[in-house]
Amino acid sequence: MESIKYKRIMLKISGEALAGENGYGIDFQVAKRIAEEIKEIVQMGIEVGAVVGGGNIWRGRQGEGMDRTTADYMGMLATCINAMALQDSLESIGVYTRVQTAIEMKQIAEPFIRRRAMRHLEKGRVVIFGAGTGNPYFSTDTTAALRAAEIEADLILLAKKVDGVYDKDPKKYSDAIKFDNVTYMDVLEKGLQVMDSTATSLCMDNNIPILVFGLDTPGNIKRALSGEKIGTLVTK
Ligand code: UDP
């Protein structure tokens, strides 16, 4: 039997990851593949919470000249569209899910209620957290950190386009070096491209490890949770 190191995890999927090659909107082939990967870890007995970003549809900072708060609320709504797409992809392959949103929209999702989320997780349902934290000026990385702390997740799996944390942008520099391990302080002090500083600080203060890995390689979620050395682990 595979040894399971993690009982409950928080998976953060950026909006960009859902867009696939298009760079915009939702690529349902990609959503389906991510759903298949989530199914594999649910079948391993791991409880899965998921936070989806919204960058494939709208990011607050795109709203040049707009009221920032309004632009951010639009971003939060974008995450709900993605949450529903992921829910649909998961349910189409027989994975039980619930979407809980930080902004009430009770015709389409449950409101975020921590104890209820915990119960769903215990029952093996994947809980997808939509609408970010419900507050402007925050990100979905911070949402992942916050919800991970609230649901007492053992690890945040941060799915990215790149396969880990590098000393400089690997797309621009061929000599960029990938780290196996970094500390929260390295991320903050060296400005490494992992999470924004609010999200990183929240993980640091609550001692939640973050595994940064590439979602483009199929099977990586299971690999990461089966103890294979992939990506970069951010810890104390
Ligand atoms: N957002 C927000 N508060 C939150 C989470 C998200 O205001 O708690 C808004 C913000 O405008 C952000 C957008 O939602 O730009 C989409 O989220 P994010 O940029 O984190 O998505 P990702 O980059 O992961 O796709």
Residues in the chain: 236
Which CATH superfamily does the domain covering 8-235 fall into? Answer: Acetylglutamate kinase-like (3.40.1160.10)
Candidate of 79, 133, 202 to mutate for ligand 1, largest count of ligand atoms within 8 Å of Cβ: 79
Does the beta carbon of 160 lie inside 6 Å of ligand 1?
no
- Looking at residue 216, its pLDDT comes to 86
Domain boundaries, the chain: 8-235
Integer Cα distance of 187 and 209 in angstroms = 13
Candidate of 27, 69, 139 to mutate for ligand 1, largest count of ligand atoms within 8 Å of Cβ: 139
Distance 227 CA to ligand 1 centre (A): 30
- Binding-site residue numbers for ATP are 12-15, 55, 59, 166, 169
- Binding-site residue numbers for UMP are 54, 72, 133-140
Residue 47: beta bridge partners? 8
Please give the structure tokens belonging to residue 121: 């997780």
Angle subtended at Cα 46 by Cα 112 and Cα 91, rounded to the nearest 5 degrees: 60
pLDDT tens digit string along 38-70?
A: 999 999 999 999 999 999 999 999 999 999 999
Torsions phi, psi of 146, nearest 5? -65, -50
pLDDT tens digit string along 66-85?
A: 999 999 999 999 999 999 99
Does the beta carbon of 136 lie inside 6 Å of ligand 1?
yes
Integer Cα distance of 163 and 159 in angstroms = 8
Integer Cα distance of 180 and 53 in angstroms = 25
pTM: 0.96
